[in-house]
A and B are shown apart, each in its own frame.
Chain A
Amino acid sequence: MNIKPIHITDIPDNLKASVYNTEEWLSIYNENLSIYGILNKNNEVIGMFYVYRKKLFKFLTLLTSPPFTPHIGLTYTSQAENKAKKHSVNKEINKSISFFLNKVNANIITLPIPFNKKDTQPFFWNKFKVIPNYTYQIDLTSSIEGLHKNLDPKTRNLIKKGKKSGLTVKQHNNFSLVKEFVMNTMKRNNVIIDQKILHNILFSFSTDKNCFSFITYQEDKPLAVTYCIYDHEMCYYLLGGYNEGAPHSSAGPMAVYESIQHAKSLGLTTFDFEGSMITPIESYFRSFGGKLTPYYTINKANFFLECLLKLKKRNTF
């Protein structure tokens, strides 16, 4: 297998199933994004992945996933029919990627792999640390009653209480409000986000065929927003925010639950909360009754850098 850079327009259609592998999504990024094709012996592009370069302390290069993208878009097709052969193909591809990454000019590598790619042994054998991260996923093929039943009783009560106190949830296209709420929420939580990319997501990427957004209102006052993107199967809860000036504990859960139901009405199979590894956010996502789903990050730096990184990222390095 060979790994070679490819242009965004050269991605074969059969590799664009995920919203995160579409031209529309990848176009929101700048020259820091590098897309790579996985080529078979006949030089045909059978797979792809991408990496995003960031500078740390001005002189260290970090290779990671692009902002707002949960993984590196690794996908490939295989003609293998039986399990043993499929495993061998997975091994060969991941081995090629791990050797490729070892040669890339980067000081630190931290790359999340899509959740459906479970075989990380070739990375382990090439001295990467393979650490699980987690997301919650809700099976949207369950009935509405099933979805409701799996909610944490506290969350169920919050939604009920919100409805009783007159809160309403409406779908909308007011992405300026989404941006405002998200920026303020991130600022309050001391989270730095790339504003240009956020703007690109909301105003260049978003169409009525790949995203939706809900707002919870108290009369005319917006209290909380959700923004989700989707493809033909998966819906991803990408952004959320709330109005600090008008906090209401039911507002967020109502908007999220409405998003889940809307995703189901679109015929999608899975609602993915997109993480998190941050305790209070994890607890909030957990309350919607999804299945805890691991995905893997592969991590590497030289020995001395890893020892230094241990001081801040001990569970990763």
Chain B
Amino acid sequence: MIVEEINKKTLIDFLEKKKHACVFTEVSLKAKNNNLYIGIYSNDRQLKGYFIISITKRLKLFKQLSTPLNLPNNLLFFDSSTTNEAKKNGEVKKLMTTIENFLSKRKESIISMSFPSNWIDFQPFIWKNYKVTTRYTYTIDLNREIEDIFNDFARERKKNIKQAKKDNITIEKHSPNSDTIELISKTFIDKGVSIDLNWLNDFIVNFCKEDNCIVHTAKDPEGNILATNLCIYDKNKCYYLYGGYSKTHKHQGAGPTCMWYTIQEAKKRNINTFDFEGSMIPEIEKYFRNFGGDLIPFYQINKANLLQEMVLKTRHKQYF
């Protein structure tokens, strides 16, 4: 196997040929960024897969190879044809070893990169002294009956949604608009979470369309906006990306009901899975947990030189 940088056109041609649709790959290809596209070739130079990386600065001094900003992971995709289990495992081992070799030859001194949840074999990285750490997301199987999905919600969550209905909170499905952007941006600012507002604006205005995006907004009987959520999707998965809440007009059921409506809408559109996109932050994790999904691990590889790792340990002990 050979791993090397490829251009956008090569990747777009590959995606069309393989009929591989991943909404986040489209986000990366269409939105403004400095992402690098890495192709995985067989020995006879057939393009078999890809992943996406970005180069950032860490501690203001060092170059870091990272999961691209605004992507959940490096989107690693590989087209395997073998059906024998032992051979399949061997092929994955070889793939991960080849990716590790590629990373080891790069100039960036810090590597911190997540992989999609379907990749579980990280032994080649462990054997080369990477720290492979475990992160989590919640997903809901949308092939289940809608009543079963609702029954798996926490009691508190069901109560929120029923109360919202009782209080005549209305939920509108619509295209993302200026209210959506404003509410999401304000929520990020209020919580002290940094966000590139120009990127967000560009993403919502230029990328989000009816065929890849679902937005729901909750309003009270007076028409005041209470909460909004924005998800993007492909044929396989719907991803919860952003949520926003009004500080002045509040209702505990507003956000959960928006989420519930989006889950139902995703099911109607024959999407297989609803993915909450994390989180490792306790308060956010608890919010997502109460929607009764399956806890799915995914993995992050981390490495730097020894001294850098010791410095990084002071802030990120669980990763370095």
Q: Is the CB of B306 within 8 A of A315?
A: no
Q: Is the CB of B84 within 8 A of A310?
A: no
Closest-CB distance, A275 to chain B (whole angstroms): 11
Chain B interface residue count: which class?
A: 35 or more
Q: Is the CB of A83 within 8 A of B152?
A: yes
Q: Which of B68-76, B132-140, B192-200, B223-231 contacts A (4 or more CB under 8 A)?
A: B132-140
Q: Is the CB of A286 within 8 A of B86?
A: yes
Q: Which of A85, A121, A311 contacts B280 (CB under 8 A)?
A: A121
Mask for B283-298, Cβ within 8 A of A = 1, else 0? Answer: 0010001111111010
Q: Is the CB of A83 within 8 A of B84?
A: no
Q: Which of B12-20, B30-38, B87-95 contacts A (4 or more CB under 8 A)?
A: B87-95
B44 CB within 8 Å of chain A: no
B122 CB within 8 Å of chain A: yes
Specify which chain A residues have a CB less than 8 angstroms from the CB of B291 in the assembled complex. 84
- Pick from A84, A152, A294, A306 the residue with the most CB of B within 10 Å: A84
A314 CB within 8 Å of chain B: yes
Chain A interface residue count: which class?
A: 35 or more
Mask for A85-97, Cβ within 8 A of B = 1, else 0? Answer: 1011001000000
User: How far is A288 from B87 in the complex, measured between Cα atoms in Å?
Assistant: 10
Q: Is the CB of A130 within 8 A of B133?
A: yes
Q: Is the CB of B85 within 8 A of A294?
A: no
Beyond A130-B133, A131-B132, is A294–B297 a contact (Cβ under 8 Å)?
yes
Q: Which of A82, A127, A310 contacts B292 (CB under 8 A)?
A: A82
Q: Which of A119, A121, A152, A314 contacts B87 (CB under 8 A)?
A: A152
Q: Could you tell me which residues of chain B, from 148 to 188, have a CB within 8 Å of some CB in chain A?
A: 151-155, 157
Q: Is the CB of A125 within 8 A of B282?
A: yes
A231 CB within 8 Å of chain B: no
Q: Say what secondary structure dominates the interface of chain A.
A: mixed
- Pick from B86, B152, B297 the residue with the most CB of A within 10 Å: B86
User: How far is A19 from B191 in the complex, measured between Cα atoms in Å?
Assistant: 49
Q: Could you tell me which residues of chain A, from 261 to 317, have a CB within 8 Å of some CB in chain B?
A: 277, 279, 282, 286-292, 294, 296, 303, 306-307, 310-311, 314-316
Q: Could you tell me which residues of chain A, from 100 to 145, have a CB within 8 Å of some CB in chain B?
A: 118-121, 124-125, 127-132, 134, 136
Mask for A40-82, Cβ within 8 A of B = 1, else 0? Answer: 0000000000000000000000000000000000000000001
Q: Is the CB of B297 within 8 A of A84?
A: no
Beyond A132-B299, A288-B86, is A121–B318 a contact (Cβ under 8 Å)?
no
Specify which chain B residues have a CB less than 8 angstroms from the CB of A307 in the assembled complex. 310, 313
A39 CB within 8 Å of chain B: no
Beyond A84-B289, A152-B90, A286-B86, is A119–B295 a contact (Cβ under 8 Å)?
yes
Q: Is the CB of B123 within 8 A of A129?
A: no
A207 CB within 8 Å of chain B: no
Beyond A127-B317, A134-B121, A307-B310, is A84–B154 a contact (Cβ under 8 Å)?
yes
Closest 3 CB pairs of A and B: A152-B86, A84-B154, A150-B85
A-B contact pairs, 21 of them (CB 8 A): A82-B152, A83-B294, A84-B153, A84-B289, A87-B292, A119-B136, A121-B136, A128-B318, A130-B133, A131-B134, A132-B299, A134-B121, A136-B89, A150-B85, A152-B84, A287-B86, A289-B89, A306-B317, A310-B310, A311-B306, A315-B127
Query: Given contacts A152-B84, A279-B127, could you give 5 more A-B pairs where the C-beta distance is less than 8 Å?
Result: A85-B155, A124-B133, A152-B87, A289-B85, A303-B314
Using a CB–CB distance below 8 Å, which chain B residues touch chain A? 84-87, 89-90, 92-93, 120-123, 126-127, 129-134, 136, 151-155, 157, 280, 282, 285, 289-295, 297, 299, 306, 309-310, 313-314, 317-319
